A and B are shown apart, each in its own frame.
Chain A
């Protein structure tokens, strides 16, 4: 059972304060949000920062739920994805990982690169353009969630794709939110 200790050590060394692994539904999303909100309430963090964290969490979690069907049939129920919150001295990090079909990587990569190439005003324009022009039936909302996360974070998005098998890769995303300067 040493893995329990190892897992604990990994969390401590990576400053992870919350971790959820498994199946993601709208219900689990709500539970995670409630739990994180309570933790933040007691942390004494500035309300603007708490709001940003909540905001990024919602988008990250709802993204996972929306794309949860990309896991393989039969495997999709368990171990579909992971969600983590990191808390370091200078920042919070909202992290997620979920399987995506390899053919969807280029589109996602392009959307994320575009977001990271834009400054604050550029992101604002992109956001307005997407809500004006996209319809809700478009799955993923043309990356609106990522644009919003980038805006709330105020920092560049970090991501990577880890190969799982011939069909799937694991999409890892990290969004940092700077803590208020005392």
Chain B
């Protein structure tokens, strides 16, 4: 499967999805002008991956900041991951960032996927 590799910018996150090496990570900032447009290829990649996923998947979110329109798309990403067997979310947040910790907990209440929290 093709690797999805998007360089992060000042308003979009860095994304690496690499099935063969088992790397699935969204990191950095997400405040694009058009969130739906930005996350479209991301959601498409996940939909393809869901057809033939690895036996287990550790999906990492290491977000520094995201805006409210991205939050809906992040929920869409999580919903797309929800139906993949062996899915686990690694939610990273800066140790002083209570809001990002809280955001992870809220997302975990909206989908049926186990979340693990790590500070960095």
Contact = CB atoms under 8 A, between A and B. Distances in A.
B36 A141 contact: no
B106 A128 contact: yes
B10 interface: yes
Contact of B68 (A34, A51, A128, A144): A144
B112 interface: no
Interface string B89-119: 0000010111100000010011000000000
B35 A136 contact: yes
Nearest to A37: B10
Interface of A: 26, 30, 34, 46-48, 51-52, 54-55, 58-59, 62, 65, 124, 127-128, 131-132, 134, 136, 141, 144-145, 147-148, 152
The 5 residue pairs across chains A and B that have the minimum distance between CB atoms? A26-B33, A144-B68, A148-B68, A136-B36, A58-B67
Interface of B: 10-11, 31, 33, 35-36, 65, 67-69, 71-73, 75, 94, 96-99, 106, 109-110
Given A147-B68, A152-B99, 10 more contacts: A34-B10, A48-B98, A51-B99, A58-B31, A62-B31, A62-B69, A124-B106, A128-B109, A128-B110, A136-B72
8 contacts: A46-B96, A48-B97, A58-B31, A62-B67, A65-B33, A128-B106, A141-B72, A144-B69
